[in-house]
Structure 1
Amino acid sequence: MIEEARRRAYLGAMQVASWLPRVVLPFAAPSRPQLLEAPEPVQAPAPSVAPEVASTPAAAPERPAPTPEARPSIPVVVPRPAAQARTPVAAEAPAEAEPAAPRAPAEPPPRFTLQLLRAGACVLLVELPTGEPLASRDPAYLLLKDLLRAAGLPDSPQLLGEPVRWPLLSGGNMDQGPQAAREFVQGFVAARLEDSGPCRCLWLVGRPAVRFAGEADDEALLRELPIEELGVAWAIPGLERLSDEPALKGELWRAMRRVRQRWLDQDAE
């Protein structure tokens, strides 16, 4: 059963601006009233009939008989010298049409897997390094538990839905480029946040989460990002990168000390 967020992504990819289902769809947003109004029929204007005017052919004027004095004179043609002969002008060749600019090649669809988790007042969008859900003994999951304990959050996060795997389809003409992936991920997270309750901070863990949910790059890591419809997000490196680069853990801890009051303060909105 397709949910609202994925349904919107399908319609957006097919460039469907307005649509109306035949039956009530589960988990669907209410239909807009203006779409249910039937358009008024347009009446074509009556053709105007021009009055018929009876026309009588005019009589041809009589040509007077020629007289000897009114004979037409024959013009005398004087030949031109060869030097003054008129040179024929060559017809201008039609301007050649400019070649059309080559179209930029379409970007290949990105490939990533994201998992949405909830830990207390925070929601985490985590990149899955292996593409599979995190297991209890995975090094990446153990590192995530350490991060949550250091942040003062529950270290046993709850799953919010199935993992997001992109591209959605293995073939077909559906647009699955970066823009379509960004719209789908943001719609998916917004729908889950609406269902699971308010969130004080959204963690974006890993490059795909930062790029497609936060519309940012690696320069935004360890910073707060205001995202429309998603609230305030905190971008951090992926779990696999943190394991490979221990020096990043110190930078992450220093950044966490600046932002952790956002979810620890009970009076925060």
Structure 2
Amino acid sequence: MNTELRRRAYLDAMQVATWLPRTELPFAAPSRQELLAPPPAEEPQPAQAEAPLAAVETVREAPAERPRIEIPRPAAQPRQAAVETPVAAPEAVEEKPARVNVPPPRFALQLLRAGDCALLVELPTGEPFQSRDPAYILLKDLLRAAGLPDSPQLLGEPVRWPLLVRGNMDQGPQAALEFVQSFVAARLEEQPSTCLWLVGLPAIRFAGEADEHSYNRELQIDVLGACWALPGLELLMEEPTRKRELWQAMRRVRQRWLAPARS
């Protein structure tokens, strides 16, 4: 509301129809000349002279009320009455699961053979074992404690994942699991083993379909047969307290490959 409309609202609330400002008002409309002419003089009547004076005194005694300015507000829309109309059930739409791009896992595994056992071992550095590597020396100690030859033979090249640095081929966890299992199963078909050692979390996860809660436990895998899950060589060196549980589990599991030799 601008200044002129607000001024007129005040005057209407005070019931003032004609008025003349003392000074020129900003943004005011020009005055009409007919309103500035003096009204004609009328002779007062004696009988009715007291009535206007009484009315004036009454107006003076009454307290002036503060004029209220009505601010226009948007009219509230009437609520529509709820009408119960039958709504047809939406047709079921088969939602396709969104494909999530999972980054490919990274690991390196080496398949070995010692006696009647095959070993799928995590390579801590990603490179083949050297004779003086601390991890390889620890592996030889484990084989001697298990009653197996401490000079394992290599079965193929190391398995490194991801296979490709570039390209659109799926190299997620499921693809890695299928590849590792098929690779190990093909080698075991050529040279069967009594028990497959899964040394390290990548070997347990992508060959045995298990996790770190399966350490020192025996697993039965459909495509690989009897397996034994072991902590990684690097983890055993960093946490020597794990070796005690490993030795205790080995006493039970070693019967798998020692029983045929006794017979």
What TM-score do you get using the length of structure 1 for normalisation?
0.61
Shift in alpha-carbon separation, 1:208–1:222, aligned structure 2, 3 A: same
Shift, 1:104, TM fit: 5.0
Partner of 2:257 in structure 1?
Answer: 263
Matched, 1:208 2:202: yes
Question: Which among 128, 131, 142 is matched to residue 133 of structure 1?
Answer: 128
Structure 1 distance, partners of 2:192, 2:183, is 15
Partner of 1:228 in structure 2?
Answer: 222
Question: Which among 194, 207, 213 is matched to residue 219 of structure 1?
Answer: 213
Matched residue of 1:266: which SS? helix
Partner of 1:253 in structure 2?
Answer: 247
Alignment size in residue pairs: 179
**Are the counterparts in 2 of residues 122 and 199 from structure 1 also a CA contact under 8 Å?**
yes
Task: Structure 2: state its 5+ residue gaps.
Answer: 1-89
Partner of 1:183 in structure 2?
Answer: 178
Shift in alpha-carbon separation, 1:268–1:116, aligned structure 2, 3 A: farther
Shift in alpha-carbon separation, 1:204–1:102, aligned structure 2, 3 A: closer
Q: How does 1:74-223 map to 2 (within 5 A)?
A: 103=98, 105-195=100-190, 197-223=191-217
Query: Larger RCO: Structure 1 or Structure 2 (Cα < 8 Å, ≥ 6 residues apart)?
Result: 1
Amino acid at match of 1:161: G
The structure with more radius of gyration: 2
Identity %: 72
Task: Structure 1: state its 5+ residue gaps.
Answer: 1-95
Structure 1 distance, partners of 2:166, 2:226, is 35
Deviation string for 1:158-217 (max 9, x for gaps)? Answer: 00000000000011110000000000000000111112x220000000000000000001
Question: Which among 224, 240, 243 is matched to residue 237 of structure 2?
Answer: 243
Deviation string for 1:52-85 (max 9, x for gaps)? Answer: xxxxxxxxxxxxxxxxxxxxxxxxxxxxxxxxxx
Matched residue of 1:203: which SS? strand
Amino acid at match of 2:233: L
Q: How does 1:19-30 map to 2 (within 5 A)?
A: none
Structure 1 distance, partners of 2:248, 2:214, is 15
Structure 2 distance, partners of 1:249, 1:222, is 10
Deviation string for 1:80-131 (max 9, x for gaps)? Answer: xxxxxxxxxxxxxxxx999x88825221100000000000000000000000
Runs of 4+ in 1 over 4 A off after TM superposition: none
